Amino acid sequence: MRKLLLQNGWRSPLTLPAPAPSESALTELGAKVDRAARRRLGRSLAIREVDAGSCNGCELEIHALNNAFYDLERFGFHFVASPRHADVLLVTGPVTVNMREALERTYAATPDPKWVVAVGDCGRNGGVFAGGYACVGGVAEVIPVDLHIPGCPPNPMQLLEGLLALLQVVR
């Protein structure tokens, strides 16, 4: 283990430079955040990820945000284990009917001020799964959404651009 740690100490970091915040995301977020909330949160945002019926593709790319290339934590974002600790809900999936109540309860358990980011084409409108008996179709049908990050699944850079836009508005 010592050898591995030492070797990596000599290498240059893998982490990519920060992307510019997404323009479309900034437009969507526009006037939604008030000043008081910005002051209270500073530069740190706690994210609770909620899978509301995704195919798990979005989860894989959200996971990738934590790897050395994207290193989400350098921006002050960190994933938390409970909605009670969260500022942001990152919701994926077309919201299955069977997950609707769990999503509503998770939202209710998240303290104010809070933001909801719907991830993926499914989170926007149900994506390929829209139209059936088993999906509500879009996170905004169930809880208020502040930002959509489209893609099937969005890649980590797109996720990062969207989240940075959120950070800029919150800050």
Partner 1 sequence: MSATNTNSALLTVLGVGHLVTGHRPWLRFVVTAETWNVLLAGLAKSRWSLLGLWGEPGMVHLAAHEFETGTPGIASLPCSAGEFPSVGRWHPPAQRLERAIADLVGLQPAAGPDLRPWLDHGCWPLRHPLGSPTAPAEALPPYPFLPTEGESLHQIPVGPVHAGIIEPGHFRFTANGEAVVRLEERLGYVHKGIESLLNGASLERAARLVGRVSGDSTVAYALAFARAVEAATETEIPARAHWLRALMAELERLANHCGDIGAICNDAAFALMLAHCAVLRERVLRASAACFGHRLLMDCVVPGGVTVDLPADGVPILRALLAEMRRAFPPLVELYDNTASLQDRAANTGTLNPTLVQQFGCGGVIGRAAGRAFDARREPGYPPYDQLEFEVPVRRESDVNARVWIRIREVEQSLALIEGILERLPSGPVHGALNQSGRLVEGMALVEGFRGDILVWLRLAADGTVARCHPRDPSWFQWPLLEAAIEGNIVADFPLCNKSFNCSYSGHDL
> 54-72 b/e with 16+ CB inside 10 Å = b?
bbeebbebbebbeeeebbb
Closest to 18 measured CA to CA, from 80, 77, 83? 77
Interface residue with partner 1, options 14, 78, 84, 144 (CB under 8 A): 14
Q: In the set 25, 41, 116, 135, which binds partner 1 (CB under 8 A)? A: 135
In the numeric block, which tokens belong to residue 26? 């900034």
Smallest distance, Å, CB 163 to partner 1?
A: 14
Q: Which of 24, 37, 64, 114 binds partner 1 (CB under 8 A)?
A: 64
Name 115's bridge partners: 88
What is the 3-class SS of 23-41, one letter each residue?
HHHHHHHCCCCCHHHHHHH
Nearest residue (CB) to partner 1, 23 versus 104: 104
**131 binds partner 1, rule: CB under 8 A:** yes
Residue 12 backbone phi and psi in degrees, to 5: -75, 150
Please tell me whether residue 110 binds partner 1 under the rule CB under 8 A: no
- Distance, C-alpha 134 to centroid of its chain: 24
114 binds partner 1 per the rule CB under 8 A: no
**Is 52 near partner 1 (CB under 8 A)?**
yes
Rule CB under 8 A: say whether 132 interacts with partner 1: yes
Q: Is residue 53 a contact point for partner 1 (CB under 8 A)? A: yes
Is-contact 100 83, C-beta < 8 A? no
What is the three-class DSSP state of 119?
A: strand
Q: Is 152 in the site for partner 1 (CB under 8 A)?
A: yes
Q: How far is the CB of 70 from partner 1 (least distance, A)?
A: 8
Tell me which residues touch partner 1 (CB under 8 A): 1, 3-5, 14, 49-64, 66-69, 79, 81-83, 93-94, 96-102, 106, 128-129, 131-135, 152-153, 155
